[in-house]
Amino acid sequence: MASVPVLSADKLVDRHGRAITYLRISVTDRCDLRCRYCMAEQMTFLPRAELLSLEEIALIAERFVARGVRKIRLTGGEPLVRRDMIDLAWRLGRQIGAGLDELTLTTNATRLATHAEALFAAGMRRINVSLDSRDPALFRHITRHGDVTKVLEGIAAAKAAGLRIKINMVALKGLNEHEVGPMLAWAGEEGHDLTLIETMPLGQIDEDRADRFLPLPRVLADLRDRFELVADDHSSGGPARYWRLAGTSTRLGLISPLTGNFCATCNRVRLSTDGKLHMCLGHEDSVDLREAIRTGGLAEVDTRISHALDLKPAAHDFRIAPGAAPAVARHMSVTGG
């Protein structure tokens, strides 16, 4: 009888001494929207045969949990366009309390109304919703064809199902900057959190990102003139810095990869939909876990995860300048947000 390989349980610590406790998994590179800062209007997606199967994603994720990952976020593309996404949520949800502290999701919410109750039943307690405008015409322009009504219905359904909601809003100069204040006020009224994000140079798009780059320190200064914001030491496990909106339960988070580098405390790695383990969003280096699990099984997956930790860079190298090429060729939808 063949011997069963003894799998390593070594904790995940990179060469810079940072403990890796957070895994983001892109379950698909496909999306039902085409946000201008994220995608080109005409996208070429990966053939379905090149995607990790549900079983492969679950097995790889379970190895990360066994080695110290405490939080998993499912992302895309739009994760809810993948037919077996809820089955994956149920499978990973069984790890909560058995090594995993939290399973979460980032979604554009166009299909959330259908799936909100199932996500809660699978063990999720909070989700992120990408929403850059509540104005129907502007939302349609940013997403190229989206219907904000579906998104707002999805958010309402998630709230009714018991999910805590954080709105992710990419701050875009000359496009939605006038909506940041109203979005924060609305979040406060609804009991949602709001995180603002600087646009990131990932993948070739049809526009120059420098035209839309809005530095978040400037946005924060404007908001503090209009709202009572109190510094908050809350941490969600990600890179955001937080303020609390006085008189509400709402937190305002800022993710500023260009104006406020947060790499010194990076605790994340990302598994792409085609099985590549990316150690940094802003670098091309990756380790192939799809090939590992298909040819060498979980023992080889463990070996390559350990190798990846030795490759994780100290910091990303994002920059925004007119005409500058993106930091990496792959789009955010491949790696996951």
Phi-psi region of 116 (alpha: psi -120 to 50; beta: other; left: phi over 0): alpha
- Torsion sign (Cα): 4, 10, 15, 18: positive
The reply, when asked if residue 266 is annotated as ligand binding, is: yes
The reply, when asked if residue 73 is annotated as ligand binding, is: yes
Residue bearing tokens 């496009």: 175
The reply, when asked if residue 319 is annotated as ligand binding, is: no
Give me Rg for the CA atoms of the chain: 19
Which phi and psi (to 5°) does residue 230 adopt?
A: -115, 130
The reply, when asked if residue 106 is annotated as ligand binding, is: yes
The reply, when asked if residue 200 is annotated as ligand binding, is: yes
Q: What is the dihedral of CA 67, 68, 73, 76, to 10 degrees?
A: -30
124's enclosing H/E stretch is none
Calculate helix-pair angle for 297-311, 54-66, nearest 10 degrees.
60
Residue bearing tokens 């701050």: 171
The reply, when asked if residue 38 is annotated as ligand binding, is: yes
The reply, when asked if residue 276 is annotated as ligand binding, is: no
Considering only CA atoms, which of 270, 274, 282, 271 is closest in space to residue 316?
A: 282
Give the three-state DSSP class for 16. coil
CA dist 230 and 245 (Å) reads 7
Residue bearing tokens 């400037």: 218
The reply, when asked if residue 140 is annotated as ligand binding, is: no
- CB count, 10 Å around CB of 113? 19
The reply, when asked if residue 236 is annotated as ligand binding, is: no
**Which tokens hold the place of 335?**
């790696």
SS3 per residue for 261-300: CCHHHCCEEEECCCCEEECCCCCCCEEEHHHHHHHCHHHH
The reply, when asked if residue 77 is annotated as ligand binding, is: yes
The reply, when asked if residue 263 is annotated as ligand binding, is: yes
Give burial (CB, 10 Å; 0-12/13-18/19+) of 216. buried
E strands, 172-258, in order = 193-198, 229-232, 241-245, 251-255
Q: Binding site: which residues?
A: 24, 31, 35, 37-38, 73, 77, 106, 130, 166, 200, 263, 266, 268-270, 280
Q: Binding site for [4Fe-4S] cluster: which residues?
A: 31, 35, 38, 263, 266, 280
Q: Binding site for S-adenosyl-L-methionine: which residues?
A: 37, 77, 130, 200
Q: Binding site for GTP: which residues?
A: 24, 73, 106, 166, 268-270
